[in-house]
Each structure stands twice: as C-alpha cells, then as structure tokens.
C-alpha cells in the first residue's frame, strides 16, 4: 500500500498518553511524515469545543511535535491553519483513546471531536479508541495488533469528506478479535449523568461530573453490540443529527409538506 504523505496525530488524553505513543508508531508505517499536535493536559469529555474566548498557547516539544494548552479541536485547528499551513495533512488520526467512544459517548468525546474538526477542515479523519473495563487496567492488545491493518483497510476503502470514522477496538486478547464491522452509533451504554460532591480541606464542596452506565438496548449492527461481540467497530459520523421521524411528525403539525 502506498503511504500517505503527511498525517496529523492528536488525542484527548494528553501528549504523553500511551495511546498516542501507540498511534505514533503505527503512523510511521502508513505515512511519510508524522506530525503530533496534542493537548498539554488531559482534555477528555470536551467534545469538539473550540477556545473561542481565550488564547491558545503552544509549546514546541521537538521536530513536528507540539503541546497545546487547549482542546483537541484547538489542536487540529492550530495544526491545519498554522503549524502545517503551507502543506496541510492528508489525514487526521485522533487517539488511541484510553477507553471506549461508543454510542452517546461520541457526543462527549474529545477524541471524536478532533476527528470532527478535521472533517470540518476537509481532511479525511479517523477517531480511534480502545474499549476497556473501567475497573481494570486498559488492555491495549487488540489495538496494538490491529491498528495498522485497520488503518490500511480504511484508507484503501476511502469515504465521503463530509464523514469521519469512529473506530473502537474490543476489550479482549487480539487472537479473539473476529474482524471489522461497519456499525451504527446507537445509544451505547450511557443512561445518564451523576454529580458527586467531595469536601475539600476547608470543608467546601467541589464536584466530580461523571456519566452513568447502564444496561440499554443494543440494536442490530450498533457499535456497542458488535464491539462487545469481538469486532472492531467502524461507524461513519457526520454533523447532521436531525431525527427524521420527529422532523416529519412535528413539521406535519405545522402544515409543512415533505
């Protein structure tokens, strides 16, 4: 397979995260030139937010490597419109995230948000995540084994520029992985949120905001269902989030024709 010319890597776990190091090694096999522009600190859960009301500071960490005091979307924006302006990337890869981005999680994910920002810039973009048991150390085995072949398959297939791809590696030993399946987003296993109060040394409360997981429906071809069954899930995502049945039903109440 012919290598792409330039690839931009980012994530939401931070520039020193092990998943980004794993991605950087894989990128050497599919690209002639690898750039890393990633958050200086963990920015999980910020979706595709941009720092609109505050400056973004950037630290040069070496050749083609930058740490950004901002969001993953800021990283892609800075890379495409500043650091790589003279020759933009041919591909944006975001991850490999420490944990899944399945279903509703994709709406919160900075990993997916970075890929969305690459898509907005007209660049083929892929978000990559390693599913895990939140109560256990992350097992990178399936991502380590299948990251390069998965990227090679996807790059040969190509996809619409108004779409980015969301890839999740299953939480299991690599020899148990069954293959790749194209999937639908679905709801996943998030069924709410919780806010946990914790007192500080002065007796004042501060708060941890967390998503709540539960047993939700797993429709056929949903990414959560197939990922749990041992497949690498690949979901095409876009900005369009209109629910068409409700669009038509509500529009009918106001006499709109469709």
Q: Which residue has the tokens 């390069």?
A: 148
Q: Please give the structure tokens belonging to residue 87.
A: 């020759």
Q: Is 97 marked as a binding-site residue?
A: yes
Q: Is 13 marked as a binding-site residue?
A: yes
Residue 40: name the closest of 9, 11, 19 by CA: 11
Q: Please give the structure tokens belonging to residue 210.
A: 């967390």
Q: Please give the structure tokens belonging to residue 184.
A: 């639908």
- What lies within 8 Å, CB to CB, of 102 at 6+ separation is 129, 131, 168, 186, 188, 189, 223, 224, 227, 233
Q: Are 43 and 110 in contact (CB under 8 A)?
A: yes
Q: Provide the annotated binding site.
A: 12-13, 44, 97
Residues flagged as binding site for a divalent metal cation: 12-13, 44, 97
């Amino acid at each position: 397979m012919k290598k792409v010319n330039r690839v931009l890597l980012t994530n939401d776990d931070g520039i020193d995260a092990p998943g980004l190091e794993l991605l950087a090694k894989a990128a050497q096999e599919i690209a002639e030139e690898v750039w890393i522009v990633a958050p200086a600190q963990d920015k999980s859960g910020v979706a595709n937010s941009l720092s609109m009301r505050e400056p973004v500071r950037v630290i040069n960490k070496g050749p083609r490597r930058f740490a950004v005091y901002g969001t993953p979307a800021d990283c892609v924006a800075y890379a495409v419109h500043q650091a790589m302006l003279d020759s933009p990337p041919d591909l944006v890869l975001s991850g490999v995230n420490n944990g899944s981005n399945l279903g509703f999680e994709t709406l919160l994910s900075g990993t997916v948000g970075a890929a969305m920002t690459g898509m907005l810039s007209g660049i083929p973009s892929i978000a990559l995540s390693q599913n895990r048991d939140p109560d256990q150390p992350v097992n990178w085995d399936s991502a380590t084994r299948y990251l390069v072949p998965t990227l090679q398959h996807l790059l040969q297939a190509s996809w619409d520029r108004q779409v980015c791809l969301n890839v999740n590696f299953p939480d299991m030993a690599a020899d148990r992985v069954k293959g790749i399946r194209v999937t639908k987003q679905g709801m996943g296993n998030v069924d709410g949120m919780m806010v946990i109060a914790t007192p500080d040394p002065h007796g004042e409360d501060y708060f941890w905001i967390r998503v709540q997981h539960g047993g939700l429906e797993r429709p056929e071809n949903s990414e959560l269902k197939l990922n749990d069954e041992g497949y690498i899930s690949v979901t095409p995502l876009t900005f369009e989030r209109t629910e068409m049945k409700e669009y038509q039903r509500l529009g009918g109440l106001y006499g709109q024709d469709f």
